[in-house]
Amino acid sequence: MVWSFRNWRRRRIQQHDALPETAWRDEVASLPLLRGLSGDELARLRELVMVFLREKELVAADGYGLSGDMRLKIAAQACLPILNLGLDYYAGWVSVIVYPDEFVPEYEFMDEDGVVHQVREPMIGESWERGPVILSSIDVERSGELDGVNVVIHEFAHKLDMLNGAPDGFPPLHREMDRAAWTQAFSRAFDDFGAKVESGAETVIDPYAAESPAEFFAVMSEAFFEIPHILQREYPEVYRQLAEFYRQDPMARMGEEAGCA
């Protein structure tokens, strides 16, 4: 009942809230991230984007105005990872809050010893369990350039990770996937990457990935969509697991030169 109502509503949105063709084409052209998607895939992405913009509430923080371009840029990049999964993967929360630039959240947390810490450091994105996604507009603008850094994909990957509880780098896998293979691929790569960062070696992939398994999954997701050739070269098993999870193969669709910069 609920399911069919929701689908009926989504179909109505697709019919009546058409996204102007020119605005959509301009957005696709401005995002190298979408390179190589077929006509059919782009059409499906556009439908997802329309429903996303209707179902999610994109709001500007600090009274800063949110342009149509910015809304589209967020929606297009947020919907790419769920192109073959569906919008229900972003169920259970509504708001995307956009700051003009880095923001400084202040919050407290208690560690295992019961000591309360105050956190106050600038961030470019944040995801709350069952709460909003928060993004810096400048960093959204910088995303999608195929340099491996994409705050939108990063924060929405956390949302996928949170579908089965606190983020731990283990999103709900599909039935046909092998949990042991996922664990082995990710823990080996996490240990190897952590050792490289520890040793001071330069890494093409953002060293922030070494922070925790949750951050590792989010950063590897950025690399998977932005620099798939590099991820495949560095951690082929992680690439394979992500291809199974996202049901996409960005390396195949982008062609030879992508991600080799």
Find where tokens 């997802």 sit. Answer: 48
CB of 215 to Zn ion, least distance (A): 5
How far is residue 14's CA from residue 8's CA, in Å, rounded to a whole number? 10
Binding mask 220-259 for Zn ion (x = CB under 5 A): ----------------------------------------
How far is residue 181's CA from residue 237's CA, in Å, rounded to a whole number? 9
How far is residue 226's CA from residue 220's CA, in Å, rounded to a whole number? 10
| 182 or 217: CB nearest Zn ion | 217
What lies within 8 Å, CB to CB, of 230 at 6+ separation is 148, 204, 205, 223, 259, 260
The verdict on 124 binding Zn ion (CB under 5 A) reads no
The verdict on 218 binding Zn ion (CB under 5 A) reads yes
| DSSP type of residue 67 | -
CB of 138 to Zn ion, least distance (A): 17
| 79 or 209: CB nearest Zn ion | 209
| 82 or 134: CB nearest Zn ion | 134
Contact in structure between 38 and 151 (CB atoms under 8 Å): no
32 φ, ψ to 5°? -55, -25
CB of 116 to Zn ion, least distance (A): 22
Only segment of 6-14, 173-181, 218-226, 248-256 that touches Zn ion (CB under 5 A): 218-226
The verdict on 72 binding Zn ion (CB under 5 A) reads no
- Looking at residues 188 to 217 of the shown chain, list those that interact with Zn ion (rule: CB under 5 A): 215
Count residues binding Zn ion (CB under 5 A).
2
CB of 105 to Zn ion, least distance (A): 13
Q: Among 241, 102, 77, 226, which Cα is nearest to 159's?
A: 77
Neighbours of 115 (CB within 10 A): 8
| 80 or 218: CB nearest Zn ion | 218
The verdict on 97 binding Zn ion (CB under 5 A) reads no
CB of 117 to Zn ion, least distance (A): 18
CB of 169 to Zn ion, least distance (A): 11
Report the chain's C-alpha Rg in angstroms.
Answer: 18
DSSP element (H, E) containing 99: strand 95-99
The verdict on 157 binding Zn ion (CB under 5 A) reads no
Contacts with Zn ion by CB under 5 A lie at 215, 218
